[in-house]
Amino acid sequence: MNTSDPRIVLGTMDFGTRVEPDRAFAILDSFVASGGVWLDTANCYSFWSDPAGVGGASERLIGAWLRSRPGMRERVRIATKVRHNPLVPHSWPDSAEGLSARAIHAGLEQSLDRLGVEYVDLLWAHAEDRAVPLEETVGAFGELVTKGTALRVGAANHAAWRVERARSLAREQGVEPWTALQLRHSLVQPRPSTPPAEAGHRMLTAEDLDLARSEGLDVWTYSSLLWGSYVRADKPLPETYDHPGTARVLAVLAEVAAELSATPNQVVLAWLMRQGIDPIVGASRVEQIEEALAAHRVRLGEQHLARFAQAR
C-alpha cells in the first residue's frame, strides 16, 4: 500500500457549478500555497448540478486556473476519471459513457482539452462497466499510458476481484496495470450490508485493503468527512449510520480531538492517513481546505487507533 507519505487530495467536484470560479480559484491557490499537490476531478463533474446537463465544468475551471497561473502545472498533479458522463444532456444513466476502448480514448481526449494539459498524472475508471469485456478496458487504459497521456491508471468503485482480474489481464497484455484504488470510507461505518444511498458509491472493504497492502496499491477515499456531519449539527449522518457503534466512535472522536487540540475532521483525516490512505477532501471555502491540510500535524498513536477499533 501507499509507499509515500499519505496526503490530502483536493476534491474539485463542485468547482464551476456549486462553487463559483472566484472561490474555486482561491481554494486552489490556498491548497498549493500550503503544500497541497493532488487535484481530483472527473469528466462527469458535475452534470447533476450543471444546467447544461453534462459534465466538464470542474475540468474547465481547473484548466482556466492553470492558464491564469503560469508554471502551476509543474506544481500540481491532476487525476481525472472516465465513465458516467452523459453523452446526451440530462439523460443519465441512459446515456452514461461506458468503458469501451473508444469511450476511454475519447473521454480522456476531451478531458485533456478542457484541462488544457498534455497528460494527466492519474486516470481513473470511475465505475465498473460489465457490458464491456474487461480485456478491452484494460487494453485501452494501457494504451493511454504507453501514449503518455496518462502517467498512471487506477480503478474507482470497483470490486477487489475485478481489480485483481484486470491487473492479471494487464500482465498478460504487457500493459500498465491499475495501481490505485478509490472507494468511499470514513471513521464511522454504516450498518453491515447496508448499501450507500448515493448512486454509484462503493464502500472500502477489508478485502480492498488486503489487496492494496499485498500488491502495493495506493488507496484514495472519498466522502471521508461525510459532508460535514462530524462537525455540523445541521448535517446529520445518514440513517444507515444509526447504530450503537456510531455513538461509541463519535464519543471517542470527541475525546481524542480534545486531547490533541484538533478538530474532529482533522482527527478523521489523520486516522485515514495513519493507515496509509489518501483522503479526498472537497471544499467550498478556503478555511475548509486549510483545516484539512492541518491534519498532517495531528499525531495519532497506537493507543488512539486501538480506542477507535474497540469502539467500532
- For the stretch 225-276, pLDDT in tens is 999 999 999 999 999 999 999 999 999 999 999 999 999 999 999 999 999 9
Residue 249 placed within a domain: no
The pLDDT confidence band at residue 2, using thresholds 50, 70 and 90, is low
Residue-wise pLDDT for 116-146, tens only, equals 999 999 999 999 999 999 999 999 999 999 9
> Which residues make beta-bridge pairs with 222?
184
Residue 248 placed within a domain: no
Model-level pTM?
0.96
Q: Provide the residue range defining the domain that includes 80.
A: 9-235+268-299
Residue 60 placed within a domain: yes
Residue 202 placed within a domain: yes
Residue 261 placed within a domain: no
End-to-end CA distance of the chain: 23
Residue 273 placed within a domain: yes
Residue 192 placed within a domain: yes
Query: For residues 58 and 201, what is the distance between their CA atoms, to the nearest angstrom?
Result: 19
Count up the domains in the chain and report the number.
1
Contact 41, 13 (CB under 8 A): yes
Q: Which CATH number does the domain housing residue 273 bear?
A: 3.20.20.100
Residue 4 placed within a domain: no
Percent composition of the chain: helix, strand, coil (DSSP 3-state, to 5):
45, 15, 45
Residue-wise pLDDT for 282-295, tens only, equals 999 999 999 999 99
Residue-wise pLDDT for 167-210, tens only, equals 999 999 999 999 999 999 999 999 988 888 887 899 999 999 99
Give 237's contacts (C-beta < 8 A, 6+ positions apart): 188, 226, 229, 246
